[in-house]
Chain A
Amino acid sequence: MAIVGSLDFEKPIEEIEDKIAELSKLTQEREIDFSQEIKKLEVKAQEMKKEVFSNLTPWQKVLMARHTGRPSTMDYIRMIFKDFIELCGDRLFKEDKAIVGGIAELDDYKVFIIGHRKGKDTKSNLEYNFGMPHPEGYRKAIRLANLAEKFSKPIITFIDTPGAYPGVGAEERGQGEAIARTLQVFSKIQVPIIVVIIGEGGSGGALAIGIGNRILMLEHAVYSVISPEGCAAILWNDPSKTIEAAKNLSLTANDLVRLKVIDEIIKEPVGGAHRSPEEASCLVKDSIISCLKELQEIPISELALERYQKLRKIGKYLE
């Protein structure tokens, strides 16, 4: 049951799960009945999971959000949608694999999908640049959003990135402009947009595809103006303050509901989405479909205004 890249606070649970596996194996091999013991351990494991995962600290949430076993955009595409066809390229410079886009069906809905793409291992992470887009990734997102609008198809975005890539080529090709332009296009597109933060919502690189009529966020995902590491380095000048930075940044799904930045938290299976990806994907699917139903009721000409009115309210100041 041990999951690749398991986190410290998951270990006690995994120890019990290993024990259960061992006892089940003995039951089979030696035909000794351990069912009582197994049942007890299962109850214990379940209680422990509830205890641990309902009280995660902000930093533990960051670790959960970055968990390599956590379902990625590609996993959700595979589990939730059918007949996905990937669409590539920005028609300007190159194909950026850090952002995946395409068309698919979701029950009776025909939709566009745009999302950050992270890998599961070193090889795929290098291929997808760890989910950190270059300007061409955002320009592909713009192209697809315009196409979705042309054919009146809803857009679903999945957010999961450490941030936009900080590199020489990215700057030369206008990383700032690409993000700003994506925000501009997503603010005016006349189709429903549903944003789902599934893992790591890292700064402007996440926000770029984060303007939506509905913004949903998984229970253990995070969304922040800067990574806790970056924040600690800049404000404290001390990398050891990362955990403190995570706490200060208010980056958990609960924080974001309280701050009225997101609309809804999607509950994860006990122990996190990586422990039962299938169950997690069902919950994500249900939430997306109920949003699609709601948004169908809004005339298409009012969707952009609805998004603007939502954004317009965000901010806290003294008058």
Chain B
Amino acid sequence: MVWFRKPKYTIVTPQAKRAKIPDGLWIRCNDCGELIFKKEWENNLKVCPKCNYHFQLRAKERLEITVDEGTFEEDNKSLAPIDFLKFIDKKPYKERIIENQEKAQLNDAVITGCGYIEKIKTAIAVLDFNFMGGSMGSVMGEKITRLIEKATDLKIPLLIVSSSGGARMQEGIISLFQMSKTVAALELHNKAKLLFISLLTHPTTGGVTASFASIGDIIIAEAKTLIGFAGPRVIEQTIKEKLPYKFQQSEFLLEHGLIDMVVNRKNVKNVLGRFLHFFC
């Protein structure tokens, strides 16, 4: 639903710079543009050691660094999208689905299941931006709703790690209604006095921001994360002004009272554990 831009700072022409990167050993930071030794970057959980930019993680990688080893059991893995509107933009949605499934090695943009975080059993959903920009269609809406219902049944806490461009336009109005479906399920979990932690990662916008991501009992954002309802480009076009510095960054949301804390990736698991142990 919303698009966003990545800041690009180029000193030398990208072509020339790219040519200088020895294959596979170095990567370039999306934010500061510095070259990072790939090993160092991986050891640092894909956070730029120079500027603290948090690179996107795949859902699988997120689970690896969040859930106690060997405890995650995935649910509803087989749920897959269908092109029920026969939506064709530049490409048929049907083709986009297959392409993204091959690219992301996932059926859709979310993994759900139960696992232990610092020894506490938790229902966990992780969105994967790599699959059609983490957009929410029927599959994401249904998998998240089923997960919430399971958490309510089992009386366990819930963690949703968001990263999404918003509702999936190719599923039209049905994708819009996944917002109300997931939120209504959350309300039943809430009514049962169970904990919901929302972890916002880069970027979280549109229909995901306007539904489950924004109503966690606790909301945590990773550092340097873009979070908003409308994308910066849309806002700029509407108000015809340059946006303020750090607008819609996690630190900006903290300042405006919209989230509880900004956390560096290496501390996320510890922070989650402390909340789970306090509340559960």
Contact = CB atoms under 8 A, between A and B. Distances in A.
Interface of A: 164-168, 170-177, 179-181, 183-184, 187-188, 203-204, 207-208, 210-211, 223-226, 230-231, 234-237, 241, 245, 248-251, 255-256, 259, 261, 307-308, 311-312, 314-319
Interface stretch (B23-31, B51-59, B112-120, B210-218): B210-218
Given A180-B210, A207-B180, A170 B174 contact: no
Interface stretch (B11-19, B32-40, B122-130, B136-144): B136-144
A156 B175 CA distance: 24
Contact of B180 (A175, A211, A234): A211
B239 A168 contact: yes
Interface of B: 1, 3, 78-82, 84-85, 87-90, 138-139, 141-142, 145, 167, 169-181, 183-188, 190-191, 206-207, 209-215, 227-231, 234-235, 238-239, 243-244, 247-248, 256-258
14 contacts: A174-B256, A176-B213, A184-B215, A204-B167, A204-B210, A225-B169, A226-B167, A235-B90, A235-B169, A235-B170, A248-B87, A248-B88, A248-B172, A315-B178
Contacts of B171: 225, 316
Contacts of A172: 256
A14 B110 CA distance: 53
A261 B174 contact: yes
Given A167-B239, A211-B184, A249 B178 contact: no
Contacts, number: 197
B176 A225 contact: yes
Given A166-B235, A315-B178, A317-B81, A176 B229 contact: yes
A183 B89 contact: no
> 4 shortest A-B CB distances, which residue pairs?
A166-B230, A176-B209, A187-B184, A315-B138
Contacts of A234: 1, 3, 169
A134 to B, nearest CB: 11
Contacts of B185: 308, 312
Contacts of A312: 145, 181, 184-185
Contact of A259 (B173, B213, B247): B173
A250 B85 contact: yes
A146 to B, nearest CB: 14
